[in-house]
Chains A and B, each alone.
Chain A
Amino acid sequence: MARSNLIPRARQNPLSRGSGALRRSPAPHLRAEASTRSIMSDVLIALSPMLIVSVFFYGFRTLALTLTSVASCIAFEWLFRRAVKKPATVGDLSAVVTGVLLAYNLPASVPYWIPVVGAAFAILIVKQLYGGIGKNFLNPALAGKAFLLVCFPDTMQTWTRPFERLPVLGTFEAEAAANPLEALKNGLIPDDSALELLLGRHAGALGETCALLLLFGGLYLILRRVIRARIPLVYLGTVAVVTLLFPLGGARPLEWMTSQLLSGSLVLAAFFMATDYTTSPVTPLGQTVYAVGCGLVTVFLRYFGGWTESVCFAILIMNSCAWLVDRIRLPQPRGGARNGR
C-alpha cells in the first residue's frame, strides 16, 4: 500500500490516521462566544438596576416577590423536563428571565401565590407544552401576566404609592394609588409630571415604573448586541406618532405623548419583551411590521379597550403573527444577475 509510505510510521503520533486524536466535524471550525446562556445573563444584568429601585420604592417585598417568581419558574421548568424525560434546560437561564419579567409586571401589593400561579401558566402551559425554549409562540412572562390580569383583575390592579414600603410578611392595608394610565384612559393628563414618570415616582407594577433605568438597560442590550434597536425604536416611535397626532380629550399633544410613552409597562415591554427572540420575527422587514403592529394595537387598546394597561395584550397579539410576518416575501434585495437566474 502506498499510503503507509507517505509518512514514516509513528505509533504514538496523534496526527496519524486512526490515532483517534483528531475530531472531524463540519465547517466552520470556529464559533462565536455568545451562547443562549450568555445572552440570558446579559438580559438579567440589564434588568437588575430596576430591582434595586423597586426595593427603594416599595421595600423588600418586591425582592421577595421577584425571588418567588424566579424560583417558581425554575422549579416548574425543571419538574416538567424531568417528568417528560427531556434534557434539563434550566441552565440556559431563560426561565430566570421569564421569572424576573413576570415579577416586574406585578403590583408590589400582590400576595405571594400570584407569581406562583403566573409562573405555572407561563412555564408549564405557554413554554413547555409547546416544546420549551424557542418553540413557544407567546412570550411566557406576558402570557402569564395576561392570565393573571384576566383571572384576578382586582388584585392585579391594586396600586400602591411609592415610598410607602410594604411589609415582606403579614397583612397590610394597601392604600390605593392612582396609576397614571387611569387618567390617560379618561383623556386626562396624569398628575405625575414627566420627570416623575421618567424616574418612576408614580404608581405602577414593581418593575415598570423607572423608565430611565429601563432605557439604560435597553441601551446596554443594544451595545452588547443582544438586541437590535429596530423593534423598540419602531414600537415606541409608532406609539409616539399616533398619540401625538390623535390626543384624547383635547390634551396638549406633546404632553399627552410623553405621558403615554412613560406610563405603564410600555418602556419595559418595548426593550425587554417585544424583543423576545422566540416570539418576534427574524427578518428586518418582519421586525419592522411587527413593531409597527405592536404600537398600533397598544394605542388602539389604550384608547378603546376595557383594561387600563394593554401593552401585554398588544404584544401577545403580535407574537401570534410573528411567524406569519416572517414569511412576507416582498421582492428580495439579493437577486443578482448570476444568483437570481
Chain B
Amino acid sequence: MKGTFHGGIRLDPRKRSTLSAVLEALDPPSLITVPLALREGTPATADVHPGDAVNIGTRLGVGEIPVYSPVSGRVRSVTEVPIPDGGSVPAVELENDGLDTSDPFVRPRGSLEALTPDEITELCYTAGLVLTGSPTPVYNRLRSLAGAPCEALIIDCTECDPFVTSRRRTLLDRTDEVLAGVRLFAKALSPKRTVLAVSSDSYDIAEHLTKRISRSDPMAVRVVSSKYPQGNERRLIEAVAGYQSADAVVLDPESAAELYRAASTGAPQLTRAVTVAGDAVANPKNLLVRIGTPLSALIDAAGGLSRDPAMLLFGGALTGAALDGADYPVTSSARAVLVLSEAAAAHTDSSACIRCGRCVAVCPENLEPLYISLWLTRGANYELRRSRVAQCIGCGSCSYVCPAKLPLAEHARLAKAKLLAARKTLVPPEANSESEVTE
C-alpha cells in the first residue's frame, strides 16, 4: 500500500530535460570560495591564512561542522561571502592549481565492519556531512533522538518538486555507495526497520533499488505518494509510520553516499550533485560540483542561457531562494540551480481573497492560511496566536494553489516571525527559562 500524507498538491514534474542526464563531474574553476558556516549568524573560524598551500581535504576551518578544501592550491584570502540561503558568512577564497593533490589526512580508515555506531556518528561530524536541501549537519539529525530507541530510519528517496533530478541520478548512478552508506546509518542508529521511501511516480527507482538490496540487508523499499511536499521530514514519517510517530529519523541518499566515501576513502564531503535546469537553460545537466564553485560556472557548463532569464533559483522551484545574480558559491546543501524565463516564472499580481478554501484543503498541517494572512494584515494578534501558525512548515502549497495569487506562505512566515519576536520581547527573563521546560 502506498504511504501518503494529509493535504499537499500535485505538480507537473517538468523533469524530462534532465531525467536521464547522468551525473557529470565538473572541473572546478581557477578560483573558488568555500563558505565556512552553514547559515548566517553561526560562528565559524578559519584554520588557514592567506598564502597557505592547501590540498584536497585540508581543513579550512570549522563552524557547526568542519569544512575542507575541495581543491588543491593556495589560500588567496579569508573573507566574507554572501550565500544563496541568505546573508553572509566567513569564507576562504582558494586559487585552484588544477593538480587535485590529496591531503595526507585523506586515507582509508580500515575495515568498514570494524566501525562502531559511535564512530560512524562521529565520522558524520568530522567528514562535514550536510543534509541535502537544508543547511543542517547530518550529525545533528543522527543525534536528534537523544538516546531514545529509533523506531524507523527513513531514507528520503523522493524528489517531488519540479525540474530537480539530482537525487534521482545519485540513486541510479551511485547506487552501491548509497546502499553502503545506508547500512552505516542503520548501524549507527540500530532502528527497528530501515525504509527507502520512493515516490510512486518513480517505479524505476523502486525497482532498481529493490534489485540491488541484498537479501541480508535489513531494509525495504516503500512506495510513498508523489504529491508535494512528500519530501518534508514530517510528511515522510507520516507516510511511512503515521503522523503521530515520533521516534523516526529521516536522512537522504546523498548523505549516505558521502558517508560511505568518508568511511572507505577518508575523504570528507567535497562535492554536491546539482541539477542545472529550467526553461532558460540551454542544455540542462546534472553536475557533480565541488563546494565553493560559483553558480555561474554551473550555468556555463549547462550551455549557458537559451532565453532571457527572469528568475534564478537556488534549491527547488517551490521553496528555493530567488537570487539577484549567479555570483554565489555552491554550498554544502546545494541540490539545484534553476533559471526560469518570464513565461515559466510565477506572476505575482494578487487580487482579493475569494475564500475558495483551496489553501485550507492543501495545507499539510491543516492550517487556515487565508485566516493567518487576514489576521496578520489586520494586526489581529490574539487570533494569530490561536492560528497554530508556528506549525507551518513553509512548503508554499497554499500560495501555489491560491487563485487570487496571494503571498499566503510569505504571510505565514511573517506571522511566525512576528509571534516569535513578540514572545522574546514580552516574556521576562525568569519566565523564559520556565517556558522552555514546558515547550
Contacts and interface: CB of A to CB of B under 8 A. Distances in A.
Nearest to B292: A6
Contacts of A5: 31, 93
A17 B243 CA distance: 43
Interface in B380-439: 386, 388, 391, 394, 396-397, 399-405, 407, 409-410, 413, 439
Given A22-B310, A282-B370, A334-B243, A36 B354 contact: yes
Contact of A18 (B77, B325, B339, B396): B325
B246 interface: yes
A228 B358 CA distance: 10
Contact of A6 (B311, B327, B370): B327
A150 interface: no
Given A7-B326, A282-B355, A30 B318 contact: yes
A171 interface: no
B25 interface: no
Contacts of B82: 3
A67 B301 CA distance: 59
Interface in A253-288: 277-278, 280-284, 287
B309 A21 contact: yes
Given A7-B296, A28-B318, A2 B325 contact: no
A190 B61 CA distance: 88
User: What's the interface size class on A, roughly?
Assistant: 35 or more
B117 interface: no
Contacts of A30: 11, 162, 317-318, 344, 346, 400
Nearest to A92: B351
A36 B404 contact: yes
Interface stretch (A68-76, A130-138, A139-147): A130-138
B369 to A, nearest CB: 10
B123 interface: no
Nearest to B295: A15
A25 B318 CA distance: 12
Interface in B301-335: 305, 308-313, 317-327, 329
Main secondary structure of the interface of A (DSSP, over half): loop
A16 B320 contact: no
Contacts, number: 192
B368 interface: yes
Interface string B329-356: 1000000000110001111100111111
Nearest to B78: A2
B3 interface: no
A6 B294 contact: yes
B379 interface: no
B81 interface: yes
A14 interface: yes
A34 interface: yes
A283 B309 contact: no
A85 interface: no
B405 A31 contact: yes
B403 A15 contact: no
A21 B327 contact: no
A92 B352 CA distance: 10
Contacts of A169: none
A7 to B, nearest CB: 4
Contacts of B354: 36, 39, 94, 133-134, 277-278
A2 B93 contact: yes
A28 B410 CA distance: 9
A338 B246 contact: yes
A22 B323 contact: yes
A29 B353 CA distance: 19
A35 B310 contact: no
14 contacts: A2-B33, A22-B310, A26-B322, A30-B344, A31-B399, A31-B405, A32-B400, A36-B404, A39-B356, A228-B361, A278-B355, A287-B357, A334-B366, A339-B365
Interface of B: 6, 9, 11, 31, 33, 77, 79, 81-82, 93, 162, 234, 243-246, 294, 296-297, 299, 305, 308-313, 317-327, 329, 339-340, 344-348, 351-357, 360-361, 365-366, 368, 370-371, 386, 388, 391, 394, 396-397, 399-405, 407, 409-410, 413, 439
Given A24-B322, A35-B404, 18 more contacts: A3-B82, A6-B81, A6-B327, A7-B297, A14-B305, A23-B322, A29-B317, A30-B11, A30-B317, A31-B399, A31-B405, A39-B403, A89-B352, A132-B352, A277-B354, A283-B357, A326-B368, A337-B246
